[in-house]
Amino acid sequence: MLSDNPPERHQTRDVELPSPHGRALRLEHSHALLEQARALVPGVTQTWMKRPEMFALGSYPVFVARGAGALVTDVDEQTYVDYICGLGANTLGHNHPRIVAAIKDALEQGILFSLPTALEVDAARDLVDVVPGAQMARFFKTGADATSGAVRLARHITGRDRIVTVGYNGWHDHFMFDTKGVPAFFADYTLRMPLMSPNDESALLSLVESRGSELAMLLLSLPYNRRVSRDYLARLRDLCRDKGVLFVFDEVVTGFRLTIGGAQQLYDLEADFVCLSKGIAAGMPLSAIAGPRHMLEPLAELQVSTTFGGELLSLAACRAAIAVYKSTDYVERIDRLGQRLADGVNRFAFDRGHDLRILGYAPIPLFRFSEDLAKHTRAAEAFVGAMARRGVLLRRDVNFLSGVHTEAQIDFTIEACKSALTELSS
């Protein structure tokens, strides 16, 4: 039986649950900062998915002031249970004591040096110890850094130029070839395939079968709306190997969340190598490529380099995060609590005839109102605004459990969902 007390529990002022915020949020300071940001920061913020229009502008906070545990407080001093979790990076919640202590200890030594440090070696050793099949690791800063390094590595190993991508793999040109500012020729080198429904599975297999001789890599980020079967993934992996195509898991999101060893461990299926970020350092900026020696050694031959890959604070946070994952019931906890949330919300929604369903993997709950994107977006925008008034921060689709959420917070969220759905349907 898992305890409801998360490891090294830490909440804002020892308050576990926020108070609902009434019929309307106080947004005076958020909106004042928003006007300043519009004049100073293109797009308001640094991350596309944190832009205010991604939530419910006018009925949702825009700026957060601080966080502790599973709670955050906005600049207007309203507190919420947080399921955005730094877009999934805050696997251990905000200001986890062991992460903070590791950063402080590293800071006393320095931040960045002119030569490598032992911490790079130690962090790599800790990482390969938990990633299935890994013998070497190379650190970067963002998920897109790691996946872009993977593209270059795969092309170098195979001598082929084209890649297949599944899911979102980063903002760089070879992934977002159909967006503004990207030369049109990139579209000739990247084949983007969906895997959102069972109907997509045969098309992906057919593509690898028919064009495998052209492909350097299949870079796969698991869909969040459903569980792909192990049998299918094994067939896809085996077909890739038969065609000489590298099979690479993009575990930027799923790593350290589905299991400590990510999708590879969950499905008992080793990729050629994997890309990691987000939970790798529990919120600090770090990413990595990890895999067997014969796959990773060719990176040394490539111009794949970053000044900040050896920055001490993030590497120290990586070591501390992995230690927490290994020594606590973190994985079991986020799975159990995520399932509790999905069961509670889905049961109510089904019984009352509401369209909302929570789908996908329990630690990564995806809220879905409709398969029609426009209809879903309208309903989800109203819903997340209603939830914010009730003291819960949600995204309009993919959300996350952290290792410090509690059963009381899950039950609080279920009741908030019931209230919000009832209000919106009246």
Q: Which domains does the chain have, with CATH numbers?
A: 1-82+329-367+387-400 (3.90.1150.10), 119-309 (3.40.640.10)
How far apart CA 319 and CA 121 sit, in angstroms, is 11
pLDDT beyond 50 at 89: yes
Cβ atoms within 10 Å of 158's Cβ, excluding its own:
17
pLDDT beyond 60 at 6: no
pLDDT beyond 60 at 7: no
| pLDDT at position 20 | 80
| pLDDT at position 15 | 60
pLDDT beyond 70 at 45: yes
Query: pLDDT, tens digit, for every residue of 319-332?
Result: 999 999 999 999 99
Per-residue pLDDT band at 5 (split at 50, 70, 90): low
* Percentage of the chain lying above the pLDDT 70 cut: 96
| pLDDT at position 19 | 83
Contacts of 30 (CB under 8 A, 6+ apart): 61, 62, 63, 74, 75, 76
The average pLDDT across 62-87 equals: 97
pLDDT beyond 90 at 3: no
Degrees, nearest 5: CA angle 258-259-263: 65
Write down the pTM of the prediction: 0.93
Cβ atoms within 10 Å of 12's Cβ, excluding its own:
18
Per-residue pLDDT band at 16 (split at 50, 70, 90): confident
pLDDT, the chain, mean? 94
Per-residue pLDDT band at 90 (split at 50, 70, 90): very high
As to burial, measured by CB atoms within 10 angstroms (0-12 exposed, 13-18 middle, 19+ buried), residue 301 is exposed
| pLDDT at position 13 | 43
Query: pLDDT, tens digit, for every residue of 158-217?
Result: 999 999 999 999 999 999 999 999 999 999 999 999 999 999 999 999 999 999 999 999
pLDDT beyond 80 at 28: yes
pLDDT beyond 80 at 290: yes
Distance of CA 118 to the CA centre of its chain: 28
The average pLDDT across 43-65 equals: 93
The average pLDDT across 58-78 equals: 96
pLDDT beyond 90 at 118: yes
| pLDDT at position 23 | 83
The average pLDDT across 107-123 equals: 97
Contacts of 333 (CB under 8 A, 6+ apart): 2, 6, 403
The average pLDDT across 13-18 equals: 70
- For the chain, the residue count is 426
The average pLDDT across 126-148 equals: 97
Residue for token digits 């999708």? 263
Lowest mean pLDDT among 183-187, 208-212, 291-295, 353-357: 183-187
Residue 271 sits at φ, ψ, to 5 deg, of -85, 175
pLDDT beyond 70 at 63: yes
Distance between the two ends of the chain, CA-based, in angstroms? 40
Query: pLDDT, tens digit, for every residue of 234-265?
Result: 999 999 999 999 999 999 999 999 999 999 99
pLDDT beyond 60 at 12: no
| pLDDT at position 11 | 46
Lowest mean pLDDT among 47-56, 133-142, 327-336: 47-56
Instruction: From 264, 265, 262, select the one nearest 279 (Cα to Cα).
Output: 262
Residue 190 sits at φ, ψ, to 5 deg, of -125, 125
pLDDT beyond 70 at 283: yes
Query: pLDDT, tens digit, for every residue of 223-236?
Result: 999 999 999 999 99
- Give the residue, 4 or 178, on which the prediction is more confident: 178
